[in-house]
Homo-oligomer: A and B are copies of this chain.
Amino acid sequence: MKFDNIKKLHQKKYRTEFGHFLVEGEHLVLELQKAALHNPLLERSELYVTNAYEQWQSPFKTHLISDRQMAQIADTKTPQGIVALVPMPAAGAPVAAPVAGERAIYLHEIQDPGNLGTILRTLAWFGNFRCLLSPGSVDPYNPKVVRSSMGAIFHAPMELDVALDSLRTRFARIACLDMRGEPVQTASFQAFDCYLFGNEARGVPREQLASLKAQPFTIPGCGAIESLNLAATVNMCAYELSR
């Protein structure tokens, strides 16, 4: 890819146009290299490094660039000096078939990049989860999501732009997390194929929920404060389901 285009990949529209995203820093590049061993798409990643990383061991095609060029493509203020250009799955590309016992976590219009990154990290930690993102969610290839996922973006199966309505025909049993409902530690919480979580500010979309016949569950609290953080809620549910 032309160097001038790589700089543009910090913006979603250019990631979509060029079909690539950026991954920055030693830790994430190591995770990428590990994941590429089992993923032919990631094998086609390329590296951009400064002098500091000239000796870096990598199976990827590697380009040596200047510190000035690195500052242009890096997202951090003081870049380490290593950035990977990673191909994104094409929109509509076939997704991995669900494995036995896999559960879907559906996030409706999640907005905070740090929340999504942390959730992907937790889902990859436990395994056996697939993350479905609604239209209007934060882009998982956003540099802040990639960074806070700490490499989990290469492991947790994801599907983008999944319409809420499509869940009805796809999943027989849908649960949703809400302010009211059965406690998540109830045994019946385990018995669903898909778990739906609402947006950070607006919660679950009430109008559309009814037609999905989603069963509400809640994480019981002491009442001192109004709500839990969205990532905290998803993480605790994933923990309960993996317990």
Contact = CB atoms under 8 A, between A and B. Distances in A.
A119 to B, nearest CB: 9
A43 interface: no
Interface stretch (A47-55, A125-133, A165-173, A208-216): A125-133
A227 interface: yes
Contact of A225 (B118, B151, B226, B229): B151
Given A235-B235, A240-B239, A243-B185, A121 B222 contact: no
B128 A222 contact: yes
A46 B223 CA distance: 26
A122 interface: yes
Residue among A118, A121, A150, A223 facing the most chain B CB atoms (10 A cut-off): A118
Interface of A: 31, 114, 118, 121-122, 124-128, 148, 150-152, 155, 185, 219, 221-229, 231-232, 235-236, 239-240, 243
Contacts of A226: 150-151
Given A148-B229, A235-B232, A236-B235, A221 B121 contact: no
